[in-house]
Structure 1
Amino acid sequence: MPFARDEDAILQFPILIGDIGGTNARFAIIVDANSEPGETRVVQTADYATIDDAIQQAVLDHTSLSPRSAVLAVAGPVDGDEIPLTNCPWVVRPKAMFETLGFSDVVVLNDFEAQALAVASLGEEHLEKIGPGEPEENAGRVVLGPGTGLGVAGLIHACRKWIPVPGEGGHMDIGPRTDRDREIFPHLEPIEGRISGEQILCGRGLVNAYRAIATADGKEARFTTPAEITAAALEKSDAVAEEALDFFVTCLGRTAGDLALVFMSRGGVYLTGGIAQKIVPALKSGSFRAAFEDKAPHGALMRDMPVYVITHPLAALNGLAAYARIPSRFGVETTGRRWRS
């Protein structure tokens, strides 16, 4: 299906941009094509019954601006006029927003599509490199991020545009590789009989891994939150937490390497989200790169691929802003994902 013509892709300002995850939602308004996003409003999704309530009460009630367009990135597949979020009870209804919020144009993208747009927009000052390799210009890239869930997207360059490739790669199967893995995996909590990447590589997945390791060794699982486990692991104050974080980092390296092969990511692999930013020391310890590069017969290829942690605190909003200002720079297919009054 062809992309929209450049003139058809133009959005009317002011534009509301929103990055809506399972736990937090971030909003800002762009006044015109030469402006940076205004004040960012960050809300917890649990505090509002609907996304419309959050936008009205947290954003529109605090500004004299009346956005004419909205570009929203949501954690879940975009299909149809009612878009449920995967890890949040909100449902996005773009047509209803015309009346409730006064928009005349609404574009809804996948949240990691927005992260991919950010990868094409961020400078080196917002990247922390993990291991060797240098990026090839205009080569394929992949972005993944453990958070409330595990988000994945690709980014390719073709026809002089950056083209984000959204998907649900966080739900791919993941399995044991080592003898130790085979002791741990039987104790991981599955979903309908299977272990997907998201059962390990997200906040609750880290807790899942921690409990599985404790059970495998007959030890007490003292911690109940990802923050507690991460802190204890980095402080080296709890052996089970240390192994859980190393297991997490190793599995993340394996998954990142698999995706790098899928997208032939000579332009780099980009880890995003709060968890990745908090565990940079663990990512640099060696287990991540070892697992990432352990892809025989393509070990040499993997060693040349760079990996970065995105350190920008609002990367997805940055990507949405870049797209909203100049849609023609990106090959974003909006058929079935754009609503006009």
Structure 2
Amino acid sequence: MRPPMISYPVLVADIGGTNCRLSLVSEPGASHQPLARISTGGHPTPEAALEAVLTTLSQRPRAAVLAVAGPLEGRRAQLTNANWHFDGPELAKALGLEQGLLVNDFEALAASLAVLGDGDLTTLVPGKPDADGIKLVLGPGTGFGAAALLTRGHRGVLIPTEAGHIGIGPEDPTEEKIWPALTAGLPRVTVESLLSGDGVVRFHRAIAQSSGMLEADVSAADVTRLALDGDPAALMAVVCFWRLLARVAGDLALTFKATGGVYIAGGIVPRLLPLADLATVQAVFAGKPPMEDLAAGFALHVITAQDAAEQGLAAIAETPQRFGLDDPRRLWFG
């Protein structure tokens, strides 16, 4: 066996605009062991946040593979929805790490598609997936992300995107009716502004206003809870949210020709699964004239495993070359 490219133990962390989840992988092939979940806003820098956890360990990691919810440039990254900047070599020096790798958070999720099992998924549209086709993962959270996995033999390539920042407009009478209230105050209407936690709240506000109801001051979690309890405005907000998510998922499937399947990730959608109208989701996802025949073959799944990103990071740490990440422009050293 060839020696691992990254030294063990390895710290793996899924770092979003709201929360940061840290785990440790002791050796190649081992499962990740959760260490902590901390608030991104509770620390001024990523170095301070990571050190606060590492200082409690009896054995410190020798390397780190960190998933960052924001765009990357080589060994540097910036969180989109929080004021954290990452410089790989500087972070290694501060934390006493030998080496590491920064990836986009949806690169980590795309890598997880190579290792997730059937029990980690719920299928919404079975489609006719091609085992060798491009797989696409996307989803709403604090923001909206998307990335693809292209595999050829034993090697693959991860394709990160900034799909959350593409523009979007109404497509049916219901959307046209609520669109002015839905997008009020936005300098530019993007996928992320509507398909995110803030977007769920926007949908609830727009439905309430269009119905002449007094809108309550609610969070995305409140809207989900109210919808599950049968509240009319919240339920309609979730229905509209699902419809737009299915539309965007189908559009991005066409963009990537994702014949290997489309996978929805993130913390929001699994909680909304009981409220998904499968007939509507299937019709909107595949309703792409004049490309209905192609779209009919796309499969759509929801990733229900809460540790999908960590599974992807562990797979990257074990064999970066499997995902095209054995790149000296991205690997960094202390």
Indicate whether the TM-score tops 0.5.
Answer: yes
1:159 positional shift = 5.2
Q: Distance in 1 between matches of 2:86 and 2:163?
A: 22
Q: Distance in 2 between matches of 1:142 and 1:55?
A: 30
Query: What aligned pairs does 1:171-210 form with structure 2 within 5 A after superposition?
Result: 171-189=165-183, 193-210=187-204
* Conserved 8 A contact 2:75-2:331: no
Can you give the 5+ residue segments of structure 1 that lack an aligned partner in the other structure?
Answer: 1-6
Partner in structure 2 of residue 46 of structure 1: 41
Confirm or deny that 1:26 pairs with 2:17: no
Q: Distance in 2 between matches of 1:67 and 1:299?
A: 50
Q: Distance in 2 between matches of 1:40 and 1:301?
A: 44
Confirm or deny that 1:161 pairs with 2:131: no
Alignment partner for residue 262 of structure 1, among 255, 259, 262? 255
Q: Distance in 1 between matches of 2:126 and 2:34?
A: 37
Q: Is 190-199 or 134-143 further displaced after alignment?
A: 190-199
Q: Distance in 1 between matches of 2:118 and 2:97?
A: 35
Q: Is 249-258 or 172-181 further displaced after alignment?
A: 172-181
Q: Distance in 2 between matches of 1:286 and 1:46?
A: 40
* Conserved 8 A contact 2:76-2:102: no
Alignment partner for residue 326 of structure 1, among 304, 307, 319? 319
Q: Deviations over 1:239-286 (max 9, x none)?
A: 221111111101000100011111111211101111111011223443
1:215 positional shift = 2.1
Partner in structure 2 of residue 246 of structure 1: 239
Confirm or deny that 1:225 pairs with 2:223: no
* Conserved 8 A contact 1:118-1:320: yes
Partner in structure 2 of residue 90 of structure 1: 84
* Conserved 8 A contact 1:9-1:327: no
Confirm or deny that 1:112 pairs with 2:85: no
Confirm or deny that 1:141 pairs with 2:132: no
Tell me which amino acid in the other structure corresponds to 1:90. Answer: W
* Conserved 8 A contact 1:48-1:54: yes
Q: Is 88-97 or 240-249 further displaced after alignment?
A: 88-97
Tell me which amino acid in the other structure corresponds to 1:278. Answer: R
1:207 positional shift = 0.5
* Conserved 8 A contact 1:246-1:287: no
Alignment partner for residue 293 of structure 1, among 257, 269, 286? 286
Q: Distance in 1 between matches of 2:76 and 2:104?
A: 14
Q: Distance in 1 between matches of 2:56 and 2:34?
A: 10
Q: Distance in 2 between matches of 1:145 and 1:181?
A: 20
Q: Deviations over 1:1-25 (max 9, x none)?
A: xxxxxx8981111211111011111
1:85 positional shift = 0.5
Q: 1:52–1:180: structure 2 CA closer, same or farther, 3 Å change rule?
A: same
1:155 positional shift = 1.3
1:223 positional shift = 4.3
Q: Distance in 1 between matches of 2:324 and 2:4?
A: 10
Tell me which amino acid in the other structure corresponds to 1:340. Answer: F
Q: TM-score, normalised by structure 1?
A: 0.92
Q: 1:189–1:332: structure 2 CA closer, same or farther, 3 Å change rule?
A: same
Count of aligned pairs between the two proteins: 334
* Aligned residues with identical type, % of pairs: 36
Alignment partner for residue 69 of structure 1, among 58, 63, 73? 63
1:113 positional shift = 0.4
Q: Distance in 1 between matches of 2:107 and 2:184?
A: 27
Q: Is 329-338 or 177-186 further displaced after alignment?
A: 329-338
Confirm or deny that 1:271 pairs with 2:264: yes
Partner in structure 1 of residue 228 of structure 2: 234
1:77 positional shift = 0.5
1:190 positional shift = 5.8
1:162 positional shift = 2.5
Q: 1:190–1:220: structure 2 CA closer, same or farther, 3 Å change rule?
A: closer
TM-align CA RMSD: 2.0
Q: Distance in 1 between matches of 2:243 and 2:160?
A: 24
Q: Deviations over 1:189-212 (max 9, x none)?
A: 367632111111010111112112
What SS does structure 2 have at the residue aligned with 1:89? coil
Q: Distance in 1 between matches of 2:101 and 2:229?
A: 44
Confirm or deny that 1:13 pairs with 2:23: no
Q: Is 223-232 or 210-219 further displaced after alignment?
A: 210-219
Q: TM-score, normalised by structure 2?
A: 0.94
What SS does structure 1 have at the residue aligned with 2:33? coil
What SS does structure 1 have at the residue aligned with 2:34? coil
What SS does structure 2 have at the residue aligned with 1:28? strand
Can you give the 5+ residue segments of structure 2 that lack an aligned partner in the other structure?
Answer: none
Q: Distance in 2 between matches of 1:307 and 1:21?
A: 24
